[in-house]
Amino acid sequence: MSDAKNRIDETVKANDVVLYMKGTKDMPQCGFSSRVAGVLNYMGVDFSDVNVLADEEIRQGIKEYSDWPTIPQLYIKGEFVGGCDIITEMTLSGELDDMFETNGVTFDKEAANRIREANG
């Protein structure tokens, strides 16, 4: 396994929730990354962010690691969940809440409900 894949593997296994994104959770640098980070931040999820713009090897390596061509990419308990569209759908359906609950990830259920109410 390449160095980038090893680093990615270590990161997704060492953190309950990881978002590979363009920019950081405090300063996203693309709309899709901003949307996913915004949802996680709003829901009070403690997550690690990895800025793929800061490391070209990671930027390419994450696409190979997940076999998913786009960024952002969300991982929960080492499992690839999806990109922006999938996370948006899962948030609106409540499926993301279920995944957090199943995996023991703390989040603000009321904030999740407010997102659904605002988009319902």
Fold of 3-119: Glutaredoxin (3.40.30)
Q: Where are the domains of the chain?
A: 3-119
Q: What pTM value is reported for the model? A: 0.96
Q: What is the average per-residue pLDDT within 57-72?
A: 96
Percentage of the chain modeled with pLDDT above 90: 98
Identify whether the C-beta of residue 8 lies closer than 8 Å to the C-beta of residue 62. Answer: yes
Give the pLDDT confidence of 35-45 residue by residue, as tens digits.
Answer: 999 999 999 99
Q: Residue 2 above 90 pLDDT?
A: no
For residue 91, give both structure tokens: 């948030």
Q: Measuring CA to CA, which residue among 75, 120, 83 is closest to residue 100?
A: 75
Q: What is the average per-residue pLDDT within 91-114?
A: 98
- How far is residue 112's CA from residue 94's CA, in Å, rounded to a whole number? 8
Q: Would you place residue 49 in the very low, low, confident or very high pLDDT band (cuts 50, 70, 90)?
A: very high
For the chain, what is the mean pLDDT?
Answer: 96
Q: Would you place residue 66 in the very low, low, confident or very high pLDDT band (cuts 50, 70, 90)?
A: very high
Give the pLDDT confidence of 3-34 residue by residue, as tens digits.
Answer: 999 999 999 999 999 999 999 999 999 999 99
